[in-house]
Structure 1
Amino acid sequence: MFDIAWSTIKNRKGGFIAAFIAVFCGSAVVAACGVLLMSGLLSGVSPERYAGAAVMIGGKQSKDVAQNFDQHYAERVTLPASLAAEAARVPGVRGAVGDHTIAMSIAGPQGRTLELGHPLYGHGWESAALGPFSLTEGSGPRGDQDAVLDTALARKAGVKVGDRVRLAVGTTGASYRVTGLTTAKAGLDRQSAVFLTDARAAQLSQRPDRVTAIGVLAEPGADAGKLADRLAKALAGSPEPISVYTGTDIGDLEFLDVGQSRGFLVALSASFGGTALVVVVFVVSSTLGLAVHQRRRELAMLRAIAASPRQIHSLIGSEILLVAAVAAVLGAGPGFLIAGTLRDAFAAVGVLPGDFELSYNPTPAAAAVVLCVLGAQLAGFIAAFRTARIQPVVALRESQTEPPRLSRVRLNAGRILIVLGLAAAVVLPTAIPGQLAIAGAAGSLLILMFGCALIGPQLVKLVTGLLAPLLRRFRVSGYLAAANTSANSRRLSAAVVPLALGAAMALMQLSTLSTVEAAAGHQAATGVVADYVLASDATGLSPELAGTVRAVPGVGTATPVIRSQVMLTYREIDKMATRPFSAQGVDPRGIGRTLDLDVRKGNLEGLSGDTVALSWMAADTAGLGVGDTADVNLGDGAEKKLKVVAVYGNGLGFGDVTLPHDLLTAHTTDRLDAALLVTAAGAGDRARVGTALTGLAQHTPTLRVQRPDEFAAVQQGQFAQQSWTNLIANSLLLLYVLIAVVNTLVMATTARSREFAMLRLIGTSRRQTRRMMFMESWVVVITAVVAGVFIAVPPTVGSSLAMTGRALPHVDPVVWAGVAAFVALLGWASIALSTRSALRGRPIDAVYTGD
């Protein structure tokens, strides 16, 4: 059978080239998703400041989630400082050093905060041995006002040994004498380092009883892996869960953003990869369906000479196996390049570190090949099912003309899918609100697409019937176009489906993005009712700044705001689920004069102690109301049961979880505020307060005064970063669909070269044939746009309802018109250019050589 299949492929290259392109591009997309997934599981960054440690001990930075990927904590999980002494007693340990890590900023030569392009951390001098750091000049710090700088930092700050430098933790600064310069053995590319005395570092960390991590220096000849096992056993009785790290895994402990990025990639690729695979199978199925449809006469002849259905399936399966296997293998390689491009795009919007390296191994390529070949085989079986099963006489009749109507089973299946898609898009957000509603609305697009694909020929006939009077005004060309589109609705449907899918995906993604951005921007802009906003151009605001500002004459209310991320654990249908949510901590005293969260139930006055306020989205997702108890993991993993005291509406603008300021602060890494909202006691005090705050900023390191609208823009920008992440991922699918559109349209048009030749032999000119195809292209384009809008509107409405509570999405007419124009241009250009190619050569040659 493979010999016959290979012979068929060589003599019918057109359809198989189209199938090859579809599988090739599909394999690249699936492989790219696989690379991102493997990178989330395996990739990392080499350690720098801990490069000299054989083993590092840190807090457990992730939450174990049953039947799902572990969730990474947003904040540093610290350890009791006393564990260092326990670790030092383990055989094979030469020494154990506790490290305090303090986020700092440094003033430049003109006194302004120096822009380094990466974080600056302060540490105790004893932890320099973990680098190991070696002094290149001067000596180590001896007093509380002494500091040792890494040589690159000293060069940027323009200081040398003996000079004084101003360092700040938050907005609290102090002057230090530079006693030495040092360099790390592994180099410092992701950070700068300042070393203080151990006592000073412990004091600045605000938690002298706890350390960021514990570094273990091994005895000469000790094996790091075995030492790590001994340490894990020795410290297993610790009241807090710990993790031990060796080799490059130490980078996960040193750099929190690496572990968080890995978690992001795992979650993104797992969800996006499933959607990508469905779209790839859908597009390949559509392409193969058209290819099999164009071979009706050949397959009907085989049935007429006694070929069995099994033999027909075997022949088509062999052909597809040969084409798909080669295409999938060749396509997997470019998938690695696409993954790199996606990594660069994610890094550009700030959701991945710029130096995050992907993990390249053959597993994603092998998986892409297997999945694409199996998907192509399944698509080929479905495409050939009718031709292989019907009676030979019927097959011969249908090889000349299409069946007059679709089967009842196909029509009913299409209608059922459309009803299910509409229910998932519109009904689900009202019946099951929250994150499930968002997922249902997004997934409804594919359900609607499958439904429209099944009834696609009916849609083409409907549009043709509406356009027929207009087409027939153009005599020969219009009459032929109307007759062709009516008689060959199945063939045109195969061209319409991918074009409609591309239009629907683009419309939904852009509309959902603009809807949520508009809602977030409005909430942020109207929610800040303070007169002034104090922020930092470095690490954050010191907690004591709020008291200083409250003492300023004329200040009525000062509300500190700290930001983090927490996790809610709740029952989702029949199992427990854990999901991260953005969080803020606020002081509820007088909050109504600085911040309007649009409280809908309860009130924020009781936001103290072990309490929490939730956005309506978070409350609906977790199934919680005022008075209920929420299971919360704070930023550093601390488990809390918090009473819900309020449900509010402005979650998109300010975060889905609002906690008491002191509670959230105690479980953040740096314990620094993100902003301080200030309102004057009266309208007459605003100018005086503004002048006083400006003067305070001039004498306070890193402090700046913002207008409320500037703060709102920052809030909106943070949300836009998350939205752009989804758009980047889905743009890959959209690009694949667009390639499939061109591929299908070109295949469908060039396969009609024999038909064009026959028309020319009976007197139709080239111009009339091109005009006929121009009119047919408008039938295809209009049908695709109508179907695309029909498919995109329900998910867009559902997504708006699920995320903003409003059924009316933010629709930009220019964007929708632009998408429609692009679809029209793409469809017309693909058909027009392939028509010109098919009309080349002598008609008589095409009659005898065409299909």
Structure 2
Amino acid sequence: MLELAVKTLRGRASGFAGAFVALFGAAMLVTAFGILLQSGVEAGVAPQRYAGVPVAVGGAKSFEVRENGKTKSKTLKDPVPLTRETVRKIAATDGVGEVVPDVSFPAVLATDGTTPAGHPWSSARLGPFDLVHGRAPQRPGEVVLDAGLAKDAGTAIRIQTTKAAAEYRVVGVAKLSGVDGELRTPAVFFADAEAESLAGRGDRVDAVGVFPRPGVDPDDLADRLTSQLGSEAEVTTGEDRSRIENPDVASAGSTLREIAGSLGGTVILISMLVVASTLAVSVHQRRRELAVLRAIAATPRQIWKMLAAESLVLSVVASALGCLPGILAAQLLRGALVLIGVVPSDFSFSVGILPMLVAVLTGVATAQVATFAVARKAASVRPVEALSDAAVELPGISGGRRTLGVLLLLLGLAASLLPVFFSGVFAVAGAGSGGLVMIIAILLLAPPVAAFATRVLAKPITRRFKEYGFLASANTRANARRLAAGIGPLVLAIGFACVQLFIPATLASAAADQADEGITAQYTLTGAAGGLPDDAVRDAAGLPGVEAATGVTRVQVFASTKVLDSPEIFEFPAQGITVDNAAKTMDLGISSGNLAELAPGKVAISTSAASTLGVNIGDQIKLNLPDGFAATPAVVAIYQRGMGFGDVTLAHEDVFVHSVRQLDQQILVRARPGADLEAALTGLSAKYPGLTVSDEAGLSDEQRDAATASVLSSALPLVLVFAYIALAVANTLVMTTLARTREFALLRLVGMTRDQVLKVLRIEALTVVLTAVAVGSAVPLIPLATVSLGLTGSPIPSIPPLLYLGIVAATALVGAASVLVPARFALRARQVDAIGLRE
């Protein structure tokens, strides 16, 4: 059967070109997202400061919650400090020779605004850093600079750390062994005691470098440590040490895994739909050939085996070839993610054999499933009916497909309406998923949808285009299934893009509006190296004319609750604020409770979070702070502006103690009536290098950049998906158009000119595009409106007009060109030759 399949593929190469392109594109897409996932798992950047220590140990990367004996874990985004007890366990493990704790904290050089990281001098061994000049720091006020920083420094330098800028004496210069040029993160070394104080970790450390005893293999020691520590810590060797050394590398890996995980399933589903649709068109075009085989006694099993063998050969070849451009697509995606700041510029993607193997297996499996689905009907036709069935296109769709499509449509509609009746994370997520389910339902119901659309458009098109419109309308009504093959992918392209892009746009717009309305301070202070020390809040509050000053630090926290007797964990954006007079600088839109009662061990939450968790004023919530610490704070206030300020508001102290954050990202300053504070606030830059003063309320630049990066990091991978869908649209329409060569020849033979045929085709293309735009825009409009209603109280979502027009224009251009360009080629053939072409 394989030999027959190969001969058939050779003899009908043009007929299989469409399926080949669909499988080729699917493999490219799966390979690109597989590389994204694999790169998120691996290090991406070589270690530098930890290059000299064989084993590096960092804090736990996840935490667990339990409900009714059931456990669920969640990955943490920020590095978690290690307790001294864990450090003692590490030191006591058999084979450990020496442990070297390390802490890291931000530092800003007043001379040029450079933002290195501060470390204790004892951690210099981990590089190792060798002194090339001077001595080690021995007391507070002394530092050693790495060679890259020391070039422009003198014997004294002003440095802002987690405290206001102070003058430090440069007592030495160190160079990282084996590294030429500047470090990816410059280092300033302080005396150990001072470094621990400035880091603010208390009795905890960021990481531990482990030196084995002589003769002990580092990998064996790492296995022992992993067994000893369990989930308390992450033990790394080799390139993986970079994740412990560089928090930005660990964060980038987490983001890549999230992108690949959230879109990977969707990518495979879309690939299956596209491949199935293309193979359906291919088999449909061969119905006369299959009918002849049935008429000469081929059994259904033989037909199915022949089609399955053809798909197997085609999918293996196409998928294998598609892996190579998938590597290029992944690298292009990496460049785009670097450009928007989601991935560090020196982060390398990992290209291995596994993503390619998965792509090939996925392509083969998808082709076989699709072949079974589309060949089942063709193979089961009775021989006496075969030739008559092949002569005409059968209207309608099977009862099973219609039932499944209607059920999915109703299910998607019900999910899309959830925000109307409920608030919280579940409702919003359900509405977004409901939109995608409805789009898939429309794909299943495409033939009746296309037939209905042609009936609706028939009169206006005939009235507008006269006899050409009549002929085009009659043709589309008689060939609704062929029309649906083009409309389905177009609807998928528009609907998928609208759901995936406009829900984040609505969230971002609502957040900006709430921040604009809720910040009542006149001035916003920001700083370099991630923020300003807490001292800056007190200094700002003490200036003449200042009514209130509030420090704000933003982190991610996790709240858990019981859902259907199992634990469920939700991630919420949170802010830690200095609670004194916070109500004078921000209006959270308190709906119940009192923000003035906020204190360490207490919490204020948004109405969305309260609904998701099912709590009210006075209730305790199960909260895991950024370091995974489990807390049960009592709710003292519930507010409405959660998108602008974060769904959880904590006291400053709770955030600083349980996160790596030791700086305020933003200080909100409210002036007394008539006071002009800009000059006085700007004067604080002498103590806080990099301090900037803004008199604009709303989201900070960092928040806006983060929101933009979040939207773009979701949108950029969609470019690959959208491009594949566009390819599928073009592929399908080109196949169906070229298959009409005999039809065009017949029209020419009965007296139509080439231009007249093209005019009819332009009207058909217009019908396809209008139907796809109308359906593709209407379906996602329902979940978009309900999400906006649930989040903002308004049913009008945020749809950037230029972005929407760009999506529609690109889709329409692809659809029209895919009909008209191949039609011009088909019309070049002589009519008497074309009318005799085989199917």
Q: Under a length normalisation based on structure 1, what TM-score does the superposition of the two structures give?
A: 0.92
Q: CA separation in 1, counterparts of 2:627 and 2:448?
A: 57
Match of 1:820 among 801, 804, 808: 808
Instruction: Provide the residue aligned with 1:178 in structure 2.
Output: 170
Structure-2 separation of matches of 1:209 and 1:42: 31
Given that 1:317 and 1:377 are in contact with CA atoms closer than 8 Å, whether structure 2 keeps it comes out as: yes
Deviation at 1:281, TM superposition (A): 0.5
- Tell me the SS of whatever aligns to 2:833: helix
1:122 aligns with 2:131: no
Deviation at 1:398, TM superposition (A): 2.7
**C-alpha distance in 1 between matches for 2:556 and 2:126:** 30
Of 643, 647, 666, the residue aligned with 1:656 is: 647
CA distance in 2 between partners of 1:245 and 1:405 (Å): 60
| Counterpart code for 2:433 | G
Q: What is the CA-CA distance between 1:736 and the residue it aligns to? A: 0.8
Structure 1 residue aligned with 2:40: 40
**1 CA distance for matches of 2:453 and 2:94?**
81
Q: Structure 1 residues 40-49 or 670-679, which shifts more?
A: 40-49
List aligned pairs for 1:162-561, cutoff 5 A. 163-170=155-162, 172-187=164-179, 189-207=183-201, 209-229=203-223, 241-426=232-417, 428-431=418-421, 433-472=423-462, 474=465, 477-561=468-552
Q: Which letter maps to 2:205?
A: V
Matched-pair contact (CA < 8 Å) for 1:103–1:670: no
Over 3 Å counting, the alpha-carbon distance change for 1:831 and 1:230 in structure 2 is closer
**Partner in structure 2 of residue 106 of structure 1:** 109
Residues 425 and 797 in structure 1, CA contact (< 8 A), matched pair in contact too: no
Structure 1 position 215, deviation (Å):
2.1
Partner secondary structure for residue 177 of structure 1: strand
Deviation digits for residues 574-611 of structure 1 (CA, Å, limit 9, x no counterpart): 53222332211113332221001122232212211312
Q: Which amino acid aligns with 2:210?
A: V
Task: Look up the match of 2:570.
Answer: 579
Whichever residue aligns with residue 132 of structure 2, its letter is: T
- 1:18: how far off? 0.3
Q: In the TM superposition, what is the alpha-carbon distance from 1:309 to its structure 2 partner?
A: 1.9
Q: Secondary structure at the match of 2:534?
A: coil
Q: For the Cα contact (< 8 Å) 1:746–1:834, is it kept in 2?
A: yes
Deviation, structure 1 residue 207:
4.1
- 1:186 shift after superposition: 4.6
Change (3 A) 1:95 1:447: closer
Structure 1 residues 147 and 587, CA, compared in 2 at 3 Å: closer, same or farther? closer
In structure 1, runs of 5+ residues without a counterpart are none
Cα distance in 1 for partners of 2:147, 2:757 equals 75
Shift of 1:325: 1.5
Q: Shift of the alpha carbon at 1:184? A: 0.8
Deviation for aligned residue 1:442: 2.4
| Number of the residue aligned with 2:146 | 150
Give 3-state SS (helix, strand or coil) of 2:101's partner. Answer: strand
- Letter in structure 2 aligned against 1:269: A
Contact 2:121–2:137, Cα closer than 8 Å, also in 1: yes
Partner AA of 2:145 in structure 1: L
Provide the C-alpha distance between the structure 2 equivalents of 1:481 and 1:363, rounded to a whole number of angstroms. Answer: 49
The answer to which of 477-486 and 295-304 deviates more is 477-486
Deviation at 1:232, TM superposition (A): 5.7
**Equivalent residue number for residue 82 of structure 2:** 79
Q: Is the 8 A contact 2:512 2:698 kept in 1?
A: no
Match for 2:19: what amino acid? Answer: A
- What is the SS of the residue equivalent to 1:270? helix
Deviations 1:815-847 (A, max 9, x none): 434433333222211111110011112122222
8 Å CA contact retained: 1:159, 1:165: yes
Shift of 1:809: 0.9
Deviates more, 1:468-477 or 1:519-528: 468-477
The answer (yes or no) to whether the contact 1:293–1:491 under 8 Å persists in 2 is no
Q: Does 1:707 align with 2:698?
A: no
Distance 1:92 1:312 in 2: 66
* Residues 357-390 of structure 1, C-alpha deviations (whole Å, 9 max, x = no match): 2232211211111122111111122112222223
Question: What is the CA RMSD across the aligned residues, in angstroms?
Answer: 2.6
Alpha carbons of structure 1 residues 827 and 228: separation in structure 2 relative to 1, 3 Å: closer
Structure 2 unpaired stretches of 5+: none
Q: Secondary structure at the match of 1:632?
A: strand
Structure 1 residue 786, shift from structure 2 partner? 1.7
Instruction: Output the CA distance in 2 between the equivalents of 1:662 and 1:484.
Output: 72
Q: Secondary structure at the match of 1:307?
A: coil
CA distance in 2, matches of 1:510, 1:85: 49
Contact 2:552–2:577 at 8 Å: present in 1 too? yes
8 A Cα contact 2:748 2:831, kept in partner: yes
* Paired amino acid for 1:149: L
User: Residues 749 and 200 of structure 1: is their aligned pair in 2 closer, same or farther, counting only changes over 3 Å?
Assistant: same
Q: Distance in 2 between matches of 1:385 and 1:422?
A: 30
8 A Cα contact 2:726 2:811, kept in partner: no
How far apart in 1 are the matches of 2:337 and 2:65?
Answer: 26
Residue aligned with 1:183, SS: strand
Give the distance between the partners of 2:339 and 2:564, measured in 1 at CA: 37
Query: What SS does structure 2 have at the residue aligned with 1:708?
Result: coil
CA change 1:32–1:805 in 2 (3 A) is farther
Residues 51, 186 of structure 1: 8 Å contact kept: no
d(CA) in 2 for partners of 1:88, 1:461:
74
Higher mean C-alpha displacement, 761-770 vs 55-64: 55-64
Query: In the alignment, is the contact (CA less than 8 A) between 1:81 and 1:98 conserved in 2?
Result: no
Quote how far apart the aligned CAs of 1:487 are: 1.0
Query: Does 2:793 match 1:799?
Result: no
Q: In structure 2, what is the Cα distance between the partners aligned to 1:61 and 1:274?
A: 24
| Deviation of the 1:752 alpha carbon | 0.9
Q: SS of the counterpart of 1:544?
A: helix
| Residues 60 and 233 in structure 2, CA contact (< 8 A), matched pair in contact too | yes
1:633–1:640 Cα contact (<8 Å) kept: yes
Query: What is the CA distance between 1:33 and its match in structure 2?
Result: 1.8
Instruction: State the distance in 2 between where 1:65 and 1:186 align.
Output: 44
Residues 201-232 of structure 1, C-alpha deviation per residue, up to 9 Å, x if partnerless?
22322346333222233344332123345556
Matched residue, 1:603: 594
Q: 1:370 to 1:782 in 2, by over 3 A?
A: same
Per-residue deviation, 1:46 = 2.5
Deviations 1:229-259 (A, max 9, x none): 55567778xxx93343322222221112222
- TM-score normalised by structure 2 residue count: 0.94
Q: 1:677 aligns with which of 668, 671, 686?
A: 668
State the AA in 2 paired with 1:78: P
740, 762, 765: which is aligned to 1:777?
Answer: 765
The 2-side partners of 1:737 and 1:71 are apart by 33
Partner secondary structure for residue 627 of structure 1: coil
Q: What is the CA distance between 1:106 and its match in structure 2?
A: 0.8
Q: Distance in 2 between matches of 1:142 and 1:408?
A: 83
Q: Paired residue for 1:761?
A: 749
